Amino acid sequence: MIPASRWLLAAGLVLAVAAPAVAHSLLLESAPVAGATLRTPPRELMLRFNNRIEKTLSRVRLLDEQGAAQALAVATDGAAADRLTAPMPSLAPGRWRVEWQVLSKDGHVVAGRFEFRLAP
Kindly state whether residue 24 participates in binding Cu ion, applying the rule CB under 5 A: yes
Tell me phi and psi for residue 11, to 5 degrees: -60, -40
What residues contact 26, with CB distance under 8 A and at least 6 apart?
49, 50, 110
Closest distance to Cu ion from the beta carbon of 50 (Å): 10
**What single-letter DSSP state applies at residue 10?**
H
Q: Candidates 1-9, 16-24, 69-77, 83-91 — which segment interacts with Cu ion by CB under 5 A? A: 16-24
Q: Which is nearer to Cu ion, 33 or 57 (CB)?
A: 57
Q: Which of residues 25-54 bind Cu ion (CB under 5 A)?
A: none
On whether the CB atoms of residues 69 and 63 are closer than 8 A, the answer is yes
With CB under 5 A as the contact rule, which of the stretches 6-14, 22-30, 79-87, 95-103 interacts with Cu ion?
22-30
- How many positions of this chain bind Cu ion (CB under 5 A)? 5
Nearest distance in Å: CB 8, Cu ion: 21
Among 108, 113, 114, 117, binds Cu ion (CB under 5 A): 108
- Give the nearest distance from C-beta 99 to Cu ion in angstroms: 19
Q: SS in 3 state form for 56-104?
A: EEEEEEEECCCCCEEEECCCCCCCCCCEEEEECCCCCCEEEEEEEEEEE
Rule CB under 5 A: say whether 19 interacts with Cu ion: no
